[in-house]
Structure 1
């Protein structure tokens, strides 16, 4: 399978296995997860990173690495229908570098939660199922 498609399919599997609602089990949410991990098509899950990244940079990243272009007016869809749920589920932090940052700040950022990062780095390996259940 092509690496681009594989990573998106893997991310969809992960979102389902993490128990995210059906509304977040879609390509947009998969791309957000991949962007939170800086997991471009050629990178493996064990190489996942944890950059601070905002909504527009997530959208730009998806276009650059996965040829998935979204219109600028879909930023709120990314924020409300994916990233808010990631934060609520505890898999991402909102403004971990400055929790006092205003909610409507253009500098707002997200980052993968550290335990989730460790878990996702094990995806595809022997420890995935044990860590997922643990």
Structure 2
């Protein structure tokens, strides 16, 4: 193990303690992992392989290893694969790092693959005292909620909203809808009214009488309505959510179709959502998702990607 100066040992030990507090996999809570976290906090201007301007804005595996060497670690060239496979990979899986923030559709094996700290994890690293404790508790609570829900094809799923409890068919598609109701919507808009909720076995499982006030014409089961339609009255936002299990992302044609079915209304913001279980699924459709929409990815921790032009 490379020698570490007292200056850096104190910083590394602090990161080790935090990772343990956040229930990071102890086997991979190594100095190399701590160095990766430390490197990605560095916001000094520098040339990087990621062309980001600083490590904090995006660093490749090579950038992180170069930083370690600058700090006197003397890590050998073959450490690069260990850094990738046994440290960075697990930090990404834990939701502490975000891979390819500049291009989420980029394959992870690309030479351009780079990483940044997740904003919430970065906030914990920067916090102190009572605020630090509160942020850690929030992270742990969120992580627990974000663990993949277990389901089997012979075991039904249930979803609850607005005082209604529904039993839905166990499928990947419906599991995504459950995540939307249980995790994303409460976090993004607080109180909301579910106007429409479909099931793979029953397209009209839940139809709120208020739905007609947003439609171009009265509800018809044959209309191509998004999987979930939600209205957040306090925020004046209408959500159109499509759960993408194998197809069904909101591309340009689908967005136009939704706009014809739900005419624009003054004072009401619209959010078009394509929802995915993980980044792998998202990458399959990222090129076809319409600009001006967003993607919700359940992968721990859950996050939202705006699909916008540069």
After TM superposition, what 4+ stretches of structure 1 lie above 2 angstroms from structure 2? none
Larger Rg: 2
Give 3-state SS (helix, strand or coil) of 1:100's partner: coil
**Equivalent of 1:52 in 39, 58, 67:** 58
The alpha-carbon distance between structure 1 residues 96 and 39, as it changes in their structure 2 partners (threshold 3 A), is closer
Residue-by-residue CA offset, 1:21-71 (whole Å, 9 max, x unaligned): 11121111110110111189xxxxxxxx83200101101101113x11211
TM-score normalized with structure 1 length:
0.83
Residue-by-residue CA offset, 1:3-34 (whole Å, 9 max, x unaligned): 32210110111111111111121111110110
Give 3-state SS (helix, strand or coil) of 1:57's partner: helix
**Equivalent of 2:17 in 13, 20, 27:** 13
| Corresponding residue number in structure 2 for 1:93 | 98
Structure in which a larger fraction of residues adopt helix: 1
In the alignment, structure 1 residue 102 sits paired with structure 2 residue 134: no
| Corresponding residue number in structure 1 for 2:70 | 64
Q: Is the 8 A contact 1:8 1:30 kept in 2?
A: yes
Q: Is the 8 A contact 2:43 2:56 kept in 1?
A: no
Give 3-state SS (helix, strand or coil) of 1:84's partner: helix
Structure of greater relative contact order (alpha carbons < 8 Å, 6+ residues apart): 1
Distance 2:7 2:108 in 1: 36
Give 3-state SS (helix, strand or coil) of 1:12's partner: helix
Structure in which a larger fraction of residues adopt strand: 2
Distance 1:29 1:119 in 2: 17
The alpha-carbon distance between structure 1 residues 51 and 78, as it changes in their structure 2 partners (threshold 3 A), is same
Q: Is the 8 A contact 2:40 2:59 kept in 1?
A: yes
| Corresponding residue number in structure 1 for 2:123 | 118
Distance 1:113 1:50 in 2: 10
CA RMSD of aligned residues (A): 2.0
Distance 2:107 2:134 in 1: 39
Distance 1:23 1:105 in 2: 27
Q: Is the 8 A contact 2:62 2:80 kept in 1?
A: yes
In the alignment, structure 1 residue 82 sits paired with structure 2 residue 87: yes
Structure 1 residues without counterparts, runs of 5 or longer? 41-48
